[in-house]
Amino acid sequence: MKEGKGRATRMAVLLPLIIGLGMFLSGLPAQVLSGDTNITPKNACLNGVKLPLAKIGKSDHLSPDCPVIITNGVIKIGVNCEGHLNVYGDSISSGCSGTDAVGLRYVPTNGEATAPGCLCEGWGVADASTDFSGWASIATGGVVNVSGESFVSTASEATSIVTVGGIFRVTHAYKPSPATSRLYEVEVTIENISGLPIGDLRYTRGMDWDISPNTFSEYVTIQGVATTPSVLYASNNGFTIVDPLGGRSDLGFTGDFVDAGPDDHGAHFDFGFGALDPGASKTFKIFYGGAGNEADALEALGAVGAEVYSFGQPDWDGSGDPLTCGPSGGTFGATTGEPHTFIFGFKGVGGVVIVTPPPPTPTPEPTPTGTPTAITLAYFNAKASDDGRVALAWETATEVNNAGFNLYRSGSEDGSYKKINNTLIPAKGNAVSGASYSFVDTPGKGTFYYKLEDVDETGVSAMHGPEKVKMKSGNNALHRSKKQKHK
């Protein structure tokens, strides 16, 4: 391309963006333009209005692979290129002020927790010893000093890698928690790429909770601050800028508190991790999730060993339909956590585990039939190959509140069956569409029978099968039973 033509092409692309940015800035509240570091509910720039990411100070991360909405079938997460949440493009969420944006959504109730109002979820990193920082959010500061390095994703996972001013490389790796279907875990790695010591490493994460049915009125809990020395500041002001060096104010609550509200507020955490040598890194985990009640939410936190957490729970009196505009008032939603409790937690930040892990679930002895669970199984089959392996495959048409699957093997159809998977195979389907699954077993020589168990979130399970295969030797297959159909 000739230089003149290339310059004209670039200007044709940039000019609309420049004009649009100017129009956006001219309409921002004076508090934002003047550097006010707290966007309160009254001066929030969104109030439910969609603002395209290009108008919010997006970084130079130009990957075509982001933003994305990922799910494990129970939890949906909307991940932007720089690792912060809230992405448009899904179905309208439940409650009084539904939205097609996804930040943190609980699929069984279609409840959305961070996107109906201010798109305030975000993160920031800083070296407080040199007063340098960078951060990424849509509405609480935009994207500042953050440059994209890479972004990769699948239907259920996403990893954002960015650099911040040539000092930090920050990785946010989102994936379903292997311990519970109610949580996504985000492994955060902060590397010192500057070649010089970082004297005072800081990390900030915060969001505006917006919990249906009465979307801009919720109860908020924060716990674990007192037992986590790295927490420098925590409050219910989810509208605070995510710059770790920015000004701070609360909306009436700081530190540890329970069921503050009902109000339009959120959760904000500032961490201080101390010095970081050149080439060294700090790694910890963040958890985002939801459950049908507070007890299940606490069980999920115990399963992952959380050290600090926040709950967002509904302002709902327990009557009417909570998936529309349920009546407000009373403390039913805060006390029970119904119809959904949203979860925001941390691990590996120098605190202690504050929720007792649940006891191990004993392996049930499989039976030919069980209590029906809320899945529709399309098929389950077992196929032997000539290398001594048995390929187990199954597919669901729909899944509702399904936690996952176990597989069992026996040497006789009516004999004792032994579980062959080490951990629960996580559910991937949902109420609208199912999913395909597979597992490989190496049983050796003989005739074998396989059963599939599906387990829902309440612990109810159902068995399917058996499927029969006959192995002539450890690496040779004779035949298998015909494919078993389930309707």
* Segment 396-426, tens digit of pLDDT: 988 888 889 999 999 888 888 999 998 899 9
**Which pLDDT score, from 0 to 100, does residue 119 have?**
95
- What is d(CA 241, CA 229) in angstroms, rounded to the nearest whole number? 22
pLDDT by residue (tens digit) across 116-128?
Answer: 989 999 999 999 9
Confidence of residue 321 (pLDDT cuts 50, 70, 90): confident
Distances (CA, A) of 174 to 17, 69, 72: 30, 11, 11
**Which pLDDT score, from 0 to 100, does residue 373 have?**
64
| pLDDT average, residue stretch 145-171 | 96
* pLDDT of 25 strictly over 50: no
**Which pLDDT score, from 0 to 100, does residue 59 have?**
39
Q: Residue 415: what are its φ and ψ, rounded to 5°?
A: -85, -165
Please state the pTM of the whole predicted model: 0.67
* pLDDT of 80 strictly over 50: yes
**Which pLDDT score, from 0 to 100, does residue 431 have?**
79
Q: Residue 314: what are its φ and ψ, rounded to 5°?
A: -80, 150
Q: Residue 312: what are its φ and ψ, rounded to 5°?
A: -115, 120
Those residues whose C-beta lies under 8 Å from the C-beta of residue 19, and which sit 6 or more positions away, are none
Confidence of residue 259 (pLDDT cuts 50, 70, 90): very high
Task: Return the structure tokens found at 173.
Answer: 């790796």
Average pLDDT, the chain: 84
pLDDT by residue (tens digit) across 127-146?
Answer: 999 999 999 999 999 999 99
- What is d(CA 12, CA 31) in angstroms, rounded to the nearest whole number? 32
> Under a CB-based contact definition with an 8 Å cutoff, are residues 471 and 384 in contact?
yes
**Proportion of the chain above pLDDT 90, given as a percent:** 64
| pLDDT average, residue stretch 14-39 | 38
| pLDDT average, residue stretch 278-293 | 97
- What is d(CA 63, CA 85) in angstroms, rounded to the nearest whole number? 16
- What is d(CA 206, CA 246) in angstroms, rounded to the nearest whole number? 13
* pLDDT of 239 strictly over 60: yes
**Which pLDDT score, from 0 to 100, does residue 422 have?**
87
- What is d(CA 90, CA 101) in angstroms, rounded to the nearest whole number? 6
**Proportion of the chain above pLDDT 70, given as a percent:** 80
**Which pLDDT score, from 0 to 100, does residue 459 have?**
81
* pLDDT of 285 strictly over 60: yes
**Which pLDDT score, from 0 to 100, does residue 149 have?**
95
Confidence of residue 487 (pLDDT cuts 50, 70, 90): very low
Residue with tokens 């310059």: 7
Distances (CA, A) of 481 to 173, 387, 445, 469: 42, 18, 16, 6
**Which pLDDT score, from 0 to 100, does residue 22 have?**
41
**Which pLDDT score, from 0 to 100, does residue 356 have?**
86
| pLDDT average, residue stretch 280-287 | 98
Residue with tokens 């448009």: 88
**Which pLDDT score, from 0 to 100, does residue 453 have?**
92
Q: Tell me, letter by letter, the H, E, C secondary structure of the chain.
A: CCHHHHHHHHHHHHHHHHHHHHHHHHCCCHHHHCCCCECCCCCCCCCCCCCCHHHCCCCCCCCCCCCEEEECCCEEEEECCCCCECEECCCCCCCCCCCCEECEEECCCCEECCCCCCCCCEEEEEECCCCEEEEEECCCCCEECEEEEEEEECCCCEEEEEEECCCEEEEEEEEECCCCCCEEEEEEEEEECCCCCEEEEEEEEEEECCCCCCCCCEEEEEECCCCCCCEEEEECCCCECCCCCCCCCCCCCECCEEEEEEECCEEEEEEEEEEECCCCEEEEEEEEEEECCHHHHHHHHHHHCCCEEEEEEECCCCCCCCCCCCCCCCCHHHHHCCCCEEEEEEECCCCCCCCCCCCCCCCCCCCCCCCCCCEEEEEEEEEECCCCCEEEEEEEEEECCEEEEEEEEECCCCCCCEECCCCCEECCCCCCCCCEEEEEECCCCEEEEEEEEEEECCCCEEEEEEEEEEEEECCEEEEECCCEECC
**Which pLDDT score, from 0 to 100, does residue 461 have?**
87
pLDDT by residue (tens digit) across 170-208?
Answer: 999 999 999 999 999 999 999 999 999 999 999 999 999
Confidence of residue 329 (pLDDT cuts 50, 70, 90): confident
* pLDDT of 474 strictly over 80: no
Which comes out higher in pLDDT, residue 404 or 481? 404
> Under a CB-based contact definition with an 8 Å cutoff, are residues 436 and 486 in contact?
no
* pLDDT of 31 strictly over 70: no
Confidence of residue 56 (pLDDT cuts 50, 70, 90): very low
Task: Return the structure tokens found at 485.
Answer: 């159909």
Distances (CA, A) of 182 to 293, 300, 309, 322: 11, 7, 14, 20
Confidence of residue 364 (pLDDT cuts 50, 70, 90): low
Other Cβ atoms within 10 Å of 300 Cβ, number: 27
- The CA dihedral of 26, 27, 31, 35, to the nearest 10 degrees, is -40
**Which pLDDT score, from 0 to 100, does residue 160 have?**
97
